[in-house]
């Protein structure tokens, strides 16, 4: 978790980075975490070789998050061995047992993404919180979607108003430089995550929007220091 002098801590994750330039843009903007996607259907997918190179670029300057979707154990093991992420992100239908077993086998901390569209989806938080080191609350994928996650859409943040803050969570789903400050004030997350909201096209990050997103997230804390 980063700490901005005089402000409450808030971590910022830039996900779906696919080249050195976008990694550098995220680091230069002050991102705390970078996300690498290992899921071929995604336009942000990277190979193990490229992912390892991007991870080395960021190592020591930001946490490295490896995103997978219902990945086989051998793929997870290869990612941990070759990419050496600081966090494995599970974005599919993985069970708590699978997540806990992966953490025990690899020794790598894990984060589970939970799709939210209504109050009934909040029950999954209790189901996964013992198995995962962190939780990411994202918009639930719309019907017919070929990829998990909100696909650039937000969900009703007020659904999270009564959550127990003793287990810190990351907020994702439809965040942009224009909306993240309000999200921080409304939801009071420990961290925020963005991918398509800082792109000019799927998989193509815009350095200016990355910088604007990080700055806006920090400004959201500055305006509402009690919110995080």
| 47: helix, strand or coil | coil
Sequential DSSP letters for 96-126? HHHHHHHHHHH---EEEEEEESSGGGGHHHH
Residue 141 in tokens: 């994928």
Q: How far is Cα 170 from Cα 51, in angstroms, rounded to an integer? A: 22
How large is the average pLDDT for residues 69-86? Answer: 97
- pLDDT over threshold 50, residue 90: yes
| Cβ atoms 178, 153 nearer than 8 A | no
pLDDT of residue 147: 55
pLDDT of residue 137: 95
- pLDDT over threshold 80, residue 9: no
Nearest to residue 15, comparing CAs of 162, 166, 197, 145? 197
pLDDT of residue 164: 75
Q: How far is Cα 151 from Cα 145, in angstroms, rounded to an integer? A: 8
Contacts of 177 (CB under 8 A, 6+ apart): 197, 198, 209, 212, 213, 215, 216
Q: pLDDT tier at 79 (50, 70, 90 boundaries)?
A: very high
How large is the average pLDDT for residues 53-61? Answer: 97
Q: Tell me how long the chain is.
A: 228
Q: pLDDT tier at 208 (50, 70, 90 boundaries)?
A: very high
Give the chain's domains with CATH numbers.
11-227 (3.20.20.70)
Give 148-203 pLDDT, tens digit per residue.
Answer: 554 567 888 888 887 877 778 999 999 999 999 999 988 889 999 999 999 999 99
Neighbours of 90 (CB within 10 A): 27
- pLDDT over threshold 90, residue 145: no
Q: What is the pTM of this model?
A: 0.90
Q: pLDDT tier at 227 (50, 70, 90 boundaries)?
A: very low
For residues 146 and 209, which has the higher predicted lDDT (pLDDT)?
A: 209
**Packing angle between helix 20-29 and helix 207-223, nearest 10 degrees?**
20
For 31, 45, 50, 72, 221, the CA distances from 17, given in Å and listed in that order, are 12, 9, 10, 22, 25
pLDDT of residue 17: 98
Residue 118 in tokens: 């209504």
Q: Extract the runs of DSSP E, i.e. beta strands, from the chain.
A: 11-14, 33-37, 63-68, 87-90, 110-116, 134-139, 169-171, 191-194, 199-201, 204-205
For 112, 124, 136, the CA distances from 127, given in Å and listed in that order, are 11, 5, 13
Active site residues: 15, 138
- 174 φψ region: left (φ > 0), alpha (ψ -120 to 50), beta (else): left
Q: How far is Cα 222 from Cα 20, in angstroms, rounded to an integer? A: 31
Across all residues in the chain, what is the average pLDDT? 89
């Amino acid at each position: 978790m980063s700490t901005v002098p005089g402000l409450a801590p808030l971590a910022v994750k830039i996900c779906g980075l696919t080249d050195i330039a976008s990694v550098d843009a995220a680091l230069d903007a002050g991102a705390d975490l970078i996300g690498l996607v290992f899921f071929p259907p995604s336009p942000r997918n990277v190979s193990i070789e490229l992912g390892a190179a991007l991870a080395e670029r960021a190592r020591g300057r930001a946490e490295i998050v490896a995103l997978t979707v219902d990945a086989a154990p051998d793929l997870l093991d290869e990612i941990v061995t070759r990419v050496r992420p600081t966090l494995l992100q599970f974005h599919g239908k993985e069970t708590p047992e699978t997540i806990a077993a992966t953490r025990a086998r690899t020794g790598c901390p894990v984060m589970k993404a939970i799709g939210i569209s209504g109050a009934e989806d909040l029950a999954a938080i209790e189901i996964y919180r013992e198995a995962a080191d962190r939780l990411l609350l994202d918009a639930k994928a719309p019907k017919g979607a070929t990829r998990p996650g909100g696909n650039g859409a937000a969900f009703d943040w007020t659904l999270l108003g009564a959550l127990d803050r003793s287990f810190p969570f990351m907020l994702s789903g439809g965040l942009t430089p224009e909306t993240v400050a309000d999200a921080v004030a409304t939801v009071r997350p420990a961290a925020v995550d963005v991918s398509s909201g800082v792109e000019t096209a799927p998989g193509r990050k815009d350095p200016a929007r990355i910088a604007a997103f990080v700055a806006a997230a920090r400004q959201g804390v500055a305006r509402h220091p009690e919110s995080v």
